[in-house]
Amino acid sequence: MIRALALAAAAMALPSIAAAQAAAAKPDPAKGQSVASQVCVACHAGDGNSPLPANPKLAGQFPEYLQKQLANFKPAGGKKAERDSAVMAGTVANLSDADMRNVAAYYASQKLKPETAKSKELAAQGQKLYRGGNLATGVAACAGCHGPDGAGIPSQYPRLAGQFAEYIETQLKAFRSGARANDANGMMRGVAARMTDPEIKAVAEYVAGLR
């Protein structure tokens, strides 16, 4: 009888435990804003619209992508960080998983102030590559994963539209050299490896003006 009561009590407790775990995992943008205002604001601005091309715009980006990047900057399990950056390693060093989840949710909720393409000629070259790739050299069309308007696909491929051309160019070159290697299945490294410097610059310019 006592055992039966204990089992019944345990069974009744399971839903409340599950609910508590779900509540703990749910992001809190307000808490994320508090962390961002102390840790991230200097480089990415309070609303995620960085004023400096070296630092990406985070506003309106998918929270899953932002959370993954934050986690990748942090060493785990005795291994080196998946994404190497002395600045970001120091930034995330004291952030918990919940902090990163909350910060990601906060910046994702902000409105992007998009960049613009500065060279129509270069952007036109980039448009051809972005939409059709380069069959001769095996460069895949960016639109295949990031969408024709650069909106990306939640949980899979980040939003690119309106990002700094300089930042996109830097990241593509980092993927090409292998300096950045936190892409799933080496997908971006495979694409960037086939791109020339002029192609990278053109695509980056086009992306900045995408809407």
- pLDDT tens-digit readout, 58-92: 999 999 999 999 999 999 888 899 999 999 999 99
Q: Do 93 and 161 sit in the same domain of this protein?
A: no
User: Which residue, of 88, 108, 128, is where some domain finishes?
Assistant: 108
Whether 132 and 188 share a structural domain: yes
Q: Which domain holds residue 157?
A: 120-208
**Nearest-CA neighbor of 211 among 128, 142, 115, 133?**
115
Q: How far is CA 108 from CA 7, 29, 133, 142, in A?
A: 43, 9, 29, 22
pLDDT tens column, 121-137: 999 999 999 999 999 99
Q: In the numeric block, which tokens belong to residue 41?
A: 């604001």
**pLDDT tens, residue by residue, 86-122:** 999 999 999 999 999 999 999 999 999 999 999 999 9
Cα separation, 9 vs 2, in Å, equals: 11
pTM: 0.87
Cα 101-114-168 angle, rounded to 5 deg = 75
- Quick one: DSSP state of residue 162? T
Q: Give pLDDT tens digits for 160-188.
A: 999 999 999 999 999 999 999 999 999 99
Q: What percent of the chain has pLDDT over 90?
A: 86
Give yes or no for residue 20 having a pLDDT over 50. Answer: no
Q: Are residues 100 and 125 in the same domain?
A: no
pLDDT of the residue at 77? 85
Q: How far apart are CA 176 and CA 78, in angstroms?
A: 27
Last residue of a domain, one of 77, 108, 139: 108
The CATH number of whichever domain residue 148 belongs to comes to: 1.10.760.10
Last residue of a domain, one of 108, 136, 166: 108
Half-sphere exposure for 118 (CA within 13 Å, toward CB): 7
Residues 81, 128: one domain?
Answer: no
For the chain, the domain total comes to 2
15: its two tokens: 């839903």
